[in-house]
Chain A
Amino acid sequence: MAKDIAKTSKPDPKTYTTDFIKSDMDNMTFLGNPHIDALTHALQALGAEVWTGRRRLYVIEALMARKIPVTPESIQAYMPTAEEEQQWKADRDRMIATVNSPFLRAGDVTFPSDKAFSYDPHKEPEIARRPKSEISK
């Protein structure tokens, strides 16, 4: 049974905390299927973990380049240069774009569907033709 929460609460004498009222975000489904929401969340968490490892490598490389012994303490204590920060963030942004760009797709052509079956190669080029400059987009 959930703990009954009074209308008011006294702070804990050591931490000065009180009871709190939980948000329902843990159980909110946005993508029509709770499994897909869970997988999306897991993917985001995994991305952060991968980046954490990669950034550690950057710090280690920076320490080695300066001939500072690589230890758990020196990894924690290193203050990157502004240039390094800029380079690392650029790589982070590239990684985030790679991981997440599929989420930008409109995704409105279900398959099979009338729309998918009505695809007409004689007409589609007029709609879908793109200039050469967009090859990397």
Chain B
Amino acid sequence: MKETETSRRSLLLGMSALPALAVAGQSAASDLSKTLTAAVSGAAGAGAAAARGTLVKPTVRAPRGARGIFTRLPDVDLESQQEYIWGRARWGMQITRAAEARGQEILRAHGIDPMKPTDMKTQDIAALLHADPLIARAARMGSLNNYDTFATLSNYFNSKGDYYHDVLAASDKQGPGALVLSRNMDVPEYTMHEIHNQRGGYMGDPFAGFVYFYGTQVLSDGTNEQDTTYDRIAASIPLPADGKVRRILDQGTGPGQLASALKRRFPDAEVWGLDVSGPLLRFAHMRDTEMGLGVNYAHKLAEDNGFPDNHFDIITSVSFHHELTAEASKEVFKEVHRVLRPGGVYRPADSGINPRTNTPHDKLGHYIGCRVNHEVWTLEWSDMDRLGAMRSAGLIVDPMGIPGVADGGHSWWLSAIRLIATKA
């Protein structure tokens, strides 16, 4: 076992970090210990800001400390790899814009207006473009960003599998929030895909929570490290008419960032985050435990959540429905109607909730999202009658009910999502 692993194991066993760090095999070990003692910042982990230009005091789960509520990646080289991919994705906007311009030029040369709705099949439009070198390279480069981000993270956490199994197992039993996991649930096949080309998807990788959380920091251009996007979404949700918010449900909660934000806004409410993925929930619970918020997490299907009728005052989801089959989305709307109390607020914020326009530009965008980003169900979501399905379930829907959430980075799409619903 390498020394760094020994150190982390020692940390797991509750031993002081500094003696472990002092076993560095350096001749100046005792000096190092003194220097570390002097140089280590007061930050212990998530929730405390470390002084910059100093060494960070490690904790069990945060061997490299934290920046605010963000726990740094556990290895500097892993962090550097992610930083590089993040920079590559930013640079990739140049080639994406150049490819878009080139694609429009080619379509116009064939007498096709890229912004005018058409009956042309997506594959016929794509056939005009795929041989262009610039467009092909843009698709190749774009595909590699997500793939490499998730693959490097998954490789790392699985290579330290014993350690992270122990971390999660210890966290599972801690509070203040509850973690309700199920070994008997029937997990539907449609949830098992490698969405976004995340290796193993949400279901197959025991460390999918770590992989998704850190991967989406890269893919969000670093704009959500402190949950700022989710805090803005939580702040945008209107109160029920009577102002009472006792229980909140966040569906498809993943690593729990919106559930955490809701608990920050409504500290006295009972907040539940719900997901089909045990690995994502275990990570969410671990993070919640570190922050001491007290969100409860349940391993359930949103289509069949097991809560009593009329139970919740607010129900939310973000970037959720486009990862379900159309049939599953309809069932979720029925379940929302069942567990939302009369006058309660339902706020599903999902990319692709705006109707498709059937322009070549739009068709290709959806196709690339579905095929290159492996969002296998996004076309079903964008093609279904979403408002009709919500209304059929009994919900009262206002598609332009609230202002969109203004935020930078990847979450620009949130500004267009203004839908709010309730129940009579």
- Chain A positions near chain B (C-beta within 8 angstroms): 5-11, 13-23, 25, 28, 30-32, 37, 40-41, 44-45, 47-49, 51-52, 55-56, 59, 62, 66, 68-69, 71-82, 84, 89, 92-93, 96-97, 100, 103-108
Q: How far is the CB of A24 from chain B (nearest CB, A)?
A: 8
Closest 5 CB pairs of A and B: A16-B278, A20-B204, A107-B133, A15-B206, A30-B140
Q: How far is the CB of B55 from chain A (nearest CB, A)?
A: 4
Nearest CB to that of A50 among chain B residues? B84
Q: How far is the CB of B80 from chain A (nearest CB, A)?
A: 4
State the CA gap A128–B287 with chains docked (Å).
Answer: 57
- The answer to whether B203 touches A52 (Cβ under 8 A) is no
- With A96-B91, A100-B88 given, is the CB distance from A15 to B56 under 8 Å? no
- The answer to whether B203 touches A19 (Cβ under 8 A) is yes
Residues of the B chain whose Cβ atoms lie less than 8 Å from the Cβ of A80: 52-53
State the CA gap A52–B201 with chains docked (Å).
Answer: 26
- The answer to whether A7 touches B188 (Cβ under 8 A) is yes
- The answer to whether B140 touches A69 (Cβ under 8 A) is no
State the CA gap A86–B212 with chains docked (Å).
Answer: 26
CB contacts between A and B, total, < 8 Å: 224
Residue of A30, A82, A104 with most chain B CB atoms under a 10 A cut-off: A30
Apart from A17-B204, A21-B194: 13 A-B pairs, beta carbons within 8 A: A7-B189, A10-B183, A11-B185, A17-B278, A20-B193, A48-B148, A51-B81, A66-B39, A78-B55, A92-B87, A104-B95, A104-B98, A104-B134
Q: Does B232 contact A (CB under 8 A)?
A: no
- With A16-B278, A72-B3 given, is the CB distance from A45 to B64 under 8 Å? no
Nearest CB to that of B205 among chain A residues? A17
- The answer to whether A93 touches B137 (Cβ under 8 A) is no
- With A15-B206, A16-B282, A20-B204 given, is the CB distance from A5 to B21 under 8 Å? no
State the CA gap A45–B151 with chains docked (Å).
Answer: 11
Residues of the B chain whose Cβ atoms lie less than 8 Å from the Cβ of A108: 132-134
Residue of A49, A68, A80 with most chain B CB atoms under a 10 A cut-off: A68
Residues of the A chain whose Cβ atoms lie less than 8 Å from the Cβ of B205: 17, 20
Residues of the A chain whose Cβ atoms lie less than 8 Å from the Cβ of B95: 100, 103-104
B204 CB contact (under 8 Å) in A10, A19, A44, A48: A19
- The answer to whether A8 touches B189 (Cβ under 8 A) is yes
Residue of A13, A56, A59, A74 with most chain B CB atoms under a 10 A cut-off: A74
Residues of the A chain whose Cβ atoms lie less than 8 Å from the Cβ of B356: none
State the CA gap A14–B168 with chains docked (Å).
Answer: 11
Q: Within residues 327 to 375 of chain B, which ones have a CB less than 8 A from any CB in chain A?
A: 374
State the CA gap A81–B181 with chains docked (Å).
Answer: 41
Residues of the A chain whose Cβ atoms lie less than 8 Å from the Cβ of B32: 69, 71, 73-74
- With A21-B201, A68-B55, A76-B75 given, is the CB distance from A44 to B186 under 8 Å? no
- The answer to whether B51 touches A69 (Cβ under 8 A) is no
Q: Does B90 contact A (CB under 8 A)?
A: yes
- The answer to whether B64 touches A77 (Cβ under 8 A) is yes
- The answer to whether A30 touches B200 (Cβ under 8 A) is no
Q: Does B197 contact A (CB under 8 A)?
A: yes
- The answer to whether A97 touches B137 (Cβ under 8 A) is no
Q: Does B41 contact A (CB under 8 A)?
A: yes
- The answer to whether A8 touches B206 (Cβ under 8 A) is no
B143 CB contact (under 8 Å) in A30, A32, A72, A84: A30
- The answer to whether B181 touches A68 (Cβ under 8 A) is no
State the CA gap A93–B85 with chains docked (Å).
Answer: 11
State the CA gap A1–B259 with chains docked (Å).
Answer: 42
Nearest CB to that of B183 among chain A residues? A13
- The answer to whether A9 touches B187 (Cβ under 8 A) is yes
Nearest CB to that of A107 among chain B residues? B133
- The answer to whether B52 touches A6 (Cβ under 8 A) is no
Nearest CB to that of A26 among chain B residues? B147
State the CA gap A20–B165 with chains docked (Å).
Answer: 20
Residues of the B chain whose Cβ atoms lie less than 8 Å from the Cβ of A52: 77, 80-81, 84
Nearest CB to that of B67 among chain A residues? A79
